[in-house]
Structure 1
Amino acid sequence: MAGSILLEREYEIDVLSRRMTSALNGLGSLILIEGEAGVGKTRLLEEARALARAGGARTLTAYGSEMERDFAFGLVRQLLEPALVSAPAELRADWFSGAARAARPVVDGKQGSQTSSGDFAVLHGLYWCVANMASTQPLALLIDDAQWADAPSLRFLMFLVHRLSDIPVAVVVASRPGADAATARSLDVLGVDAATTRIRPRPLSLDSSGLLLNEAFRDERPAEVPFIEACHDVTGGNPLLLEQLARVMRAEGIEPVRENIGRVVDLGPQAVSRYVAGRLAELPEAAHRLARAVAVLGDGVRPDVAARQAGLSPEDTVQAAQHLTLVDIFSMESVARGNPLEMRLKFTHPLVRATVYGTLDPDVLMSAHIRAVQVLEATGAEAEKVGAHLLSIPPAGSERAVTVLRRAADDALLRGSPDAAQVHLMRALAEPPPREQRLDVLLQLAHCGQLLNDDRAIGPLREALTLSASPHQRAMIRAQIGSALFFLSRTTEALQIQRQGMREAPDENTRGLLAAGMLSTLAFEPNQPALFAYTDELERLPPHDSAGAGARDSMIAMVRTWQGRPEGIARARRAGRNEAFMAMPSNELFLALGVWHTLITADDEEAQASLENAIADAHRDGSVRALTAAFNHRGWGRLHHGHLDDAEADLLSAMRAVEEANVHVGRAFNGAFRAELHIARGRYAEAQAALEWGRLAPGNPGAVYHLLMSQARLLRLRGQADRALQTALQAGRSFASCGGDNPALIPWRSEAAVNLHRLGRVDEARQYAEQELVSARRWGAPRALGRALRVVGLAYGGTPKGLAALEESWTVLSASSARIEQIDSGLAYGAALWRATGEVSAQEVLREAITLAHACGSAHLVRVGIDALKKTGARPRRPTVSGPDSLTPSEARVARLAASGASNREIAQELFVSVKTVEVHLTNSYRKLGVRQRAELQEILAD
């Protein structure tokens, strides 16, 4: 195996060489090697290791293992721990500096404080730990057998791959078919990223199979062609199987001639097992015992631990390991040169380990795992390692087993892995735990499921409800069940449990939280006549400063916003200023959606400040739910303000969170918001792709109308007015089914009006436009009012009424922050004014709209404006933007931090972005402010 010749891999090695060179020079990348077992993935990883070392990189290696797939960040710990443990204290402190401090619980469970799953801070901390390590020496992270990777490590790889282009890190991942559905989905997400190159080594051709066989039989006679063909057919050209088949035949004295084709067919499917069995038969009993012990304990075990498992002395263990290595069953990896007892025992290939493990009959195997529990506990192994063997044996009512499993779950949560904690807690329940512990285990298990947006939270919560005697705890359990069901789009069940909770709730805070949960569920379920009656009832309750009252206000505000009733705005402001509510754990802060939704729709600047705080809290607390909602809404608000680059960064972050954590509730919103962003930039194909991505949300995500609205706009811009009209009307019906009637959210009437006008149905167009204007004036926000006025103006054309509406639209939007709508209205008003009057002032309106489009970063709208200006006979001037007001929010934050003396690395860590992103923002800021260095920033920004 290790010594086999490498054939037909020139293309793969060339790709590895080019990507490795590029990565180690600063443009990081991920290479995913995919293929069947034995096709040569591990050999390609060895080539990658050699290339990395030749390029001066530090190489870190990890191997997926069936025994360790439930370890918290198991692969990440394999990669990082050896380097971190062996590094000098000063260097290790540098690697853990800044944001990387949050990574310490992953590699040292005794460091830091309790973290929560999907913890953005932990993932970001791991990124910075890797980036800090790479700043001292380029890194190559090599991972084999990723089909057995633990879920948190895969989440980190998905997090890292989006940021690789900024750091000198090459990640090479090898995987084969056979992963479970969740792992396969994560590997697919990795595989389609722009930073990823996929390599799929093919089986060997007949000619190369002949070369390999002749190499194996080189001391005998050349292989005959029919013999080669038979070997190729029976192995499918798989290099490992070919090699093992040749070894077995040589060992059994089978010559490579035509007459032995029948033996080839008999041996082929069993080549590896026959080889292993044959080699073990030549070895002493100690080698057999050690091989079985390592097969049970798993690769990477210390010889002293394997010795206890096998019942061997240290000396016999070393000798047995050497025997197994000589016959290519074991490979040994040294972690301390010169000391054999500090070696690690590992099989040469997972198929070899599987073969040895498969020879153990069920009774022997169970006894071996029971012994492994005893051995690992006696040698001070981590609870997770002991727990892995408890997972392999049936429950036995052992209180000690429950203690170990709960400790393993605690360690997993400490490291930010509820996935692993969930597995151990479920096994602890099956043991089962003592009655007095069962409720605690159930609640912790439910907590893990909620953090993972997993339906497995619901069963434990329902059982906990039957065990709890506390009215407050019972009400909160019902709130948690309702929340879990809501996030799984099981709204009917959620409403039922929330109503029961309301009847039991013992205090104002709990009632408020349950009421907010009910409103959110009702609001996202179409055709719920109880929604508005219930909202009216809650609205009559007196204000309160509890978190529950703030949550209730937030959801009342959202309902009123959908109805287009402006009294919801004041309630949203009150909820946003409720300190107890806004200080809730970020995993529950999704109830602040009502605040953000309302204030953004009302063009209220308080929304952005609230979102900044929520995102900072979610970074610390690690709630993927909160991050998805907050990034979605901040991106949506920034889109309205015309900060397109910042909006795109936020919406991409939300999209990645949805994919990494499977938070489906945010998917449809994100797809619609990203489509609007792409439309503003004239990227229609990307807009369609975003809409299709958004439609992948299962069940009823409650945002179908947003998707339909964006689809209608896109169809119109592509010249399909009739289809656009039908889609706009469908959006209106969908919105109305949820009680919606606010043009600031879903301007379906104005979209219908524009398309009706294009289809020559002018009277109908004017009717729809006038109806939307009435609703927009009632709501009062400039963005909705300006758009409605623009559509009225377009519907009435160059008439005095049409020009007056366009002028009012331009005036209203010019005094607002709704810059995208302002650009559209400026282009419409300038063009209409020129056609009607030929006044020079029309050209000035168009020039202002063009300048604004340039400041927003929309080259598409700049081109549209220039085309309109040319039609007036004017010569377009090159648009420019400058001064502090021209900075985007992200550019301004970076510039202010740079002016205060913070380094690029410090800025990146504080803002949870990469150094490259900071460099781009600073470059843009220097250009807009007309400065060349940091020292000049403070004076300009102070003014």
Structure 2
Amino acid sequence: MVSRVHGRLALLTEILGLLERGDSVALHGPSGVGKSALLDLIEDRFRGERGAVSLRAGGAVDEHALPFAALRDLMAQLPPELVETLPDRVRGCVAAGLVGLDVTDELRSDLAAGLHAVLDTWSHDHPVLLLLDDVQWLDAESSRVVGYARRRLRGRVSVAVTTGVGDNAEIDVSGLCHVEVAPLGADDMVDLLCAHGLRAEVAHKIYVESGGIPALALALAGALGTTPTLLGRPTPLPTSLERVLRERFLAQPADVRDTLRVAALLHRPTLRHLERAGRLEGGEHLRRAQLAGLVTRADDTVRFAPTMLRGVVVETIPAAERTALHLDLARVAVTPGEQLRHRALADPRPDADLARALGAAALEAAMGGARELAAELYLLAADRAPCALAGERTEWLVSAVETAAPGNHVDLLHRGLTEVLERPGSRAQAVRVRLAIPELAGSGPAVLDEVLTAALADARDDDRLVAMVLLQRARMALMESRPAESARAAERAVALLEASGDTDDLAVGLTLLAVSRRWLGLPHARHLARAVALGVPTPTGYVHTSPDYMAARFAFYDDRLDEAWDGFQALLAQVERAPGMDQVHVLRCLVEVGARAGRCRQTTAYAERAVRVGEELGLSAHTGWFIAAQAEIVGGDLIRARTLAARGADAADEGRDNRYLQRHLVLLGQALLRSGDAGGARDAFTRIRDLEQEHGITDPTINRWQADLVSALVLLGRLDDAEETLGAARRVLDARPGTDGVAATLDRAETELLIARGDLPGAEVVLDRSAKVCADLGMRVDVGRSLVTRAHLERRRRRVAAARSALERADAVFSALHARSWVAQVRAETTPDRAAVPQNLLDQLTPSEARVAREVAAGASNREIAERTYVSVKTVEAALTRVYRKLGVRSRTQLATLLGPVAG
């Protein structure tokens, strides 16, 4: 039962609250969204918690025209002693099953009065609940009789109904509170499917396919299992699921089916396209299709749910009708490319002129950023090419693969890839095809290595082709956090390109070389400066490898935050028309910059947009989880950030995506640290440290875990380890440019260490330095964090008013930034929840636990407590864990705030 209504706790609470106060409710939502499951739980709650009695019936398409069908079901559930109180005429009709009766006004009135009377009597002894499922198919006579009773017994008889798509205009739901049961969100759907044994990454893909409809998601999970491997052919639709989808589509009214058939033939259907095609009532038809769970809509774009339904719908259109529809759509197409697409799909015969026109339109669409349309036009050009155009045909197929890959259009890529491999062209074309494959999201390291090895063999002694392969190998090595290998490949590629005079690819090679050398801690600035100076225009789909992109990225690493923000804003304008990995990369960078600079509202908006684009493209879910978690950790909910980061770390680890694994671990460690789990945070940060050491990454500006690891070790009382970690981090910064921001965060961590050691004057000096640098660099979130640390310093000095003042200033800073998670954390320190803690606090603890609690409240570290009480640090940690549990707090700060007066 719980899994069937997963993620509906808030909605269920709202519904129960309405029913408790005597209102009745009508639940609306798409078919399969879980309305009936909610009725089940409502019934269980009312029976278990209120001792209520219930009557339940449901409408059905086949019984829609059968008078009193639902009323018969309701009457059959009444206690016999109540039925006996009915007038003889009514009781006789009920005993006869209300079947075969002539419907008259007199009979209808008698039944209405009878039902009203028995419910009136019954409700004096028990709360009564009427549950009606699919009331759009309830027969009209039952609806009238039940409506008569419920309107007169309001407040004594509660009614909960579910409605869906149907043609019953006579159904009466007036006077009910209408509640929308929306599709499940991504987090709830992933939790639901993971509870059924799916991996989170697979669960997220099924969420996207299902549009958040639980019934459809569970059906897809059962039918499809796990997703196919990326480079294999797409898994064919299971026959059973294809049949179910076809039946769901064919069950719709004729006008809805016609509109969906037109939508299925369009490249990217929108309401505007449907209206141009003569479907003037397309909006209403789409609404009904959405209620039936067949489509979803976002930004006026129509998307079939699941996407495979689109192919099922197309197959239901007879060939002659399909041709006629394509010709009609060609006449009203918005762009020349879409017009040519419909012409080509209407007539499959070879046509040299049409093929060349399709190829030219594909190139124009690709230059304009419409990669999906461009790839399809290239494939259509190849399909319509006669034998005389064999050379052009191969080039169109290669271009289709190259165009589809950066947008992650897997189906289109496979169509082109299959034909190219069957009829290979030149060596250069073979290399281009192989180099396109790594552009797909989710390709595993083993597969990519095999592909690039084959590409290098195809290149042979052609220096330019070899350089292209080396550049792709350098990029893949960076994505896998192997900068040394990337640097070697990039260096060789640059040498070959300089010798050949190829400035276009040279800019890319110099950029890759600069990145890999920076990660390795080697001089890199002149390489990136050369790449930028070349001024090579970057084609759409490859902006995230360009010198301008990486120049903005380096500005972010160096905490030149305004420069980074402006750079990525300019790039966003460039990639907005080309949804794909480019757009996701740029949006991710804006989220990261915004999170550090305190642009929390914009960070949240960009994160939502990036996740939406990633879902449309079918990108790896852990990419979106990182972006969302980064936004949540400053401007949202800390618990959700921790959940997303943990889920993303597991998925990235399983997919051997070392770069995203490190990113997720940083956020996971931060969320755990701020939640009071210093041990978990330490484990996350030390894992990043180990990964960096394994791959030779020495630049401290890349992941930024060092200061937080020091803080975690201080909280754990491991002060010597904290000092050692701090010293190692300081040595790495020595004379390295662009590290002032990292040094400032280390100063804040050192402040915490000095407070724990009792060096309060030294702590103040270091904290002042940290706060000034953060303010100078525009690291506004860190400015607020400095004030939180200052409050801890003042509390250790026993300056209660000064500590509170620092926290109030931190609250003001975070509130102005809309950093909601930090606001919540600061307010938890200023106004601890005393109501949840017993009055005699220390009486709840054992003597040894009470002493540990007093020492912590006084500011002592775990090591200091161990020395004073002659026990081990581990014993102190264990006692402190029990104290946290018994008093309901999560951190030393909360404990100190809570016990301040008691400890004093």
Report the TM-score range of the alignment, normalised by the length of the smaller protein. 0.5 to 0.7
Task: Provide the residue aligned with 1:80 in structure 2.
Answer: 275
Distance 1:713 1:726, change over 3 A: same
| Superposed displacement of residue 788, structure 1 | 1.4
Look up the match of 2:634: 680
**Matching residue of 1:627:** 583
Aligned to 2:625: 671
CA contact (8 A) 1:425 1:445 kept: no
Which letter does structure 1 place at the counterpart of 2:592? Answer: W
Q: In structure 1, how many angstroms separate the alpha carbons of the residues matched to 2:346 and 2:740?
A: 64
Q: Secondary structure at the match of 2:486?
A: helix
CA distance in 1 between partners of 2:162 and 2:801 (Å): 63
Q: Tell me the CA shift for residue 817 of structure 1.
A: 1.3
Distance 1:773 1:387 in 2: 65
Match of 1:641 among 575, 580, 597: 597
**Pair 442,144 (structure 1): closer, same or farther in 2 beyond 3 Å:** farther
Instruction: Check if 1:707 corresponds to 2:668.
Output: no
| Residues 137 and 166 in structure 2, CA contact (< 8 A), matched pair in contact too | no
Tell me the residue number matched to 2:815.
854
Question: Is it true that 1:438 corresponds to 2:393 in the alignment?
Answer: yes
Q: Cα–Cα, structure 1 residues 557 and 668, in superposed 2: closer, same or farther, change >3 Å?
A: farther
Where 1:417 maps in the other structure, the secondary structure is helix
1:105 aligned partner: none
2:163 aligns to what?
12
Counterpart secondary structure, 1:616:
helix
1:776/1:785 contact within 8 Å kept: yes
Whole-angstrom distance in 2 between the partners of 1:293 and 1:761 = 69
Instruction: State the 1:600 CA deviation.
Output: 1.0
Amino acid at match of 1:671: W
Match of 1:662 in 2: 618
Counterpart code for 1:556: L
Deviation digits for residues 712-754 of structure 1 (CA, Å, limit 9, x no counterpart): 2222233332232222222222333333233322233433332
Aligned equivalents of 2:678, 2:745: Cα separation in 1: 19
Per-residue CA deviations over 1:31-79 (Å, capped at 9, x if unaligned) read: 9998957988788779xx9xxxxxxxxxx995334x9846523676761
Quick one: which amino acid aligns to residue 392 of structure 2? Q
- Per-residue deviation at 1:853? 1.2
In 2: Cα distance, 1:294 partner to 1:640 partner? 53
- Quick one: distance in 1 between partners of 2:403 and 2:490? 32
Distance 2:676 2:393 in 1: 63
Distance across 1 between alignment mates of 2:419 and 2:484: 29
Considering Cα pairs closer than 8 Å and 6+ residues apart, tell me whether 1 or 2 has the greater RCO.
1
The equivalent of 1:836 in structure 2 is 797
Q: Can you list the C-alpha shifts for 1:151-182, whole angstroms capped at 9, x where unaligned? A: xxx8x944547xxxxxxxxx8x886x8x6399
Separation (CA, whole Å) in 2 of partners of 1:638 and 1:705: 20
Residue 459 in structure 1 maps to residue 417 in structure 2: yes
Question: What secondary structure, in the 3-state scheme, does the structure 1 residue paired with 2:405 have?
Answer: helix
**Aligned to 1:822, which of 765, 770, 783?**
783
Compared CA separation, residues 751 and 465, structure 1 to 2 (3 A): farther
What per-residue deviation string (whole Å, max 9, x for no partner) do you get for residues 907-933 of structure 1? Answer: xxxxxxxxxxxxxxxxxxxxxxxxxxx
Q: How far did residue 569 of structure 1 move? A: 4.8
Distance 2:361 2:293 in 1: 18
TM-score (norm 1): 0.52
- 1: distance between equivalents of 2:552 and 2:347? 47
2:286 partner amino acid:
L
**1:550-699 map, 5 Å:** 550-565=507-522, 567-569=523-525, 571-572=527-528, 575-576=531-532, 578-580=534-536, 583-592=537-546, 594-604=550-560, 605-620=562-577, 622-664=578-620, 667-681=621-635, 683-691=637-645, 694=648, 696=651, 699=655
Kept after mapping to 2: 8 A contact 1:711/1:724:
yes
Letter in 2 for 1:585: P
Task: State the Cα deviation string for residues 652-703 of structure 1 (Å, max 9, x = none).
Answer: 2111111101233xx5454234323322246123213433664556833331
Greater CA deviation, 405-414 or 601-610?
405-414
Contact 1:810–1:829 (Cα < 8 Å) also in 2: no
Separation (CA, whole Å) in 2 of partners of 1:601 and 1:691: 21
Say if 2:713 is the partner of 1:751.
no
Shift of 1:610: 2.2
Classify 1:768/1:461 alpha carbon distance in 2 versus 1 (closer, same or farther; 3 Å): farther
- Name the residue aligned to 1:803: 764
Q: What is the alpha-carbon distance in structure 2 between the residues aligned to residue 146 and residue 420 of structure 1? A: 27
Q: Which amino acid letter does the alignment assign opposite residue 663 of structure 1?
A: L
C-alpha displacement of 1:615 = 1.0
Give the counterpart letter for 1:525 in structure 2: E
Q: Which moved more, 1:606-615 or 1:35-44?
A: 35-44
User: What's the TM-score, normalizing by structure 2?
Assistant: 0.54
What does residue range 76-155 of structure 1 map to in structure 2 within 5 Å?
79-82=274-277, 140=284, 142=286
Which of 292, 296, 305 is matched with 2:319 structurally? 296
Structure 1 counterpart of 2:678: 721
SS in 2 for 1:142: helix
One-letter code aligned to 1:7: W
Letter matched to residue 806 of structure 1? L
Q: After superposition, where does 1:154-303 map in structure 2 within 5 Å? A: 157-160=297-300, 180=308, 295-298=318-321, 301=324
SS in 1 for 2:797: helix
Amino acid of the residue matched to residue 590 of structure 1? H
- Aligned ranges 1:170-569 → 2 under 5 Å: 180=308, 295-298=318-321, 301=324, 384=341, 387-388=344-345, 399-400=350-351, 417-418=373-374, 420-421=376-377, 424=380, 427=383, 434-453=389-408, 454=410, 456=414, 459=417, 463=421, 466-468=424-426, 479-480=435-436, 483=439, 490-496=447-453, 499=456, 515-525=470-480, 530-534=485-489, 546-565=503-522, 567-569=523-525
Kept in 2, the 8 Å contact 1:786–1:808? The answer is: yes
Q: CA deviation at 1:861?
A: 2.4
Give the 3-state SS of the residue equivalent to 1:744 in structure 2. Answer: coil
Cα pair distance change 1:822/1:542, threshold 3 Å: farther
Which residue identity does 1:761 align to in structure 2?
R
How many residue pairs get aligned? The number is: 588
| 1:700 partner amino acid | R
Residue 631 of structure 1 deviates from its aligned partner by: 0.6
**Structure 1 pair 570/45, CA: closer, same or farther in 2 (3 Å)?**
farther
How far has the Cα of 1:559 moved from its partner? 1.8
CA RMSD of aligned residues (A): 5.3
Q: Which amino acid in 1 is paired with 2:610? A: A
Deviation of 1:775 (Å): 2.5
Question: Take 2:358 and 2:182, find their aligned partners in 1: how far apart are those partners?
Answer: 34
CA distance in 1, matches of 2:708, 2:392: 59
- 1:272-310 Cα offsets, whole Å, 9 max, x none, are xxxxxxxxxxxxxxxxxxxx998332379589x99xxxx
Structure 2's unaligned 5+ residue stretches are: 1-60, 66-135, 140-160, 175-179, 184-210, 217-243, 332-337, 833-904
Give 2:321's aligned amino acid.
G
Change (3 A) 1:493 1:37: closer
Task: Give the 3-state SS of the residue equivalent to 1:440 in structure 2.
Answer: helix
Match of 1:765 in 2: 722
Question: Which secondary structure state, in structure 1, belongs to the residue aligned with residue 286 of structure 2?
Answer: strand
- Residues of 2 paired with 1:703 and 1:585: CA distance? 25
Aligned to 1:737: 694
CA contact (8 A) 2:518 2:524 kept: yes
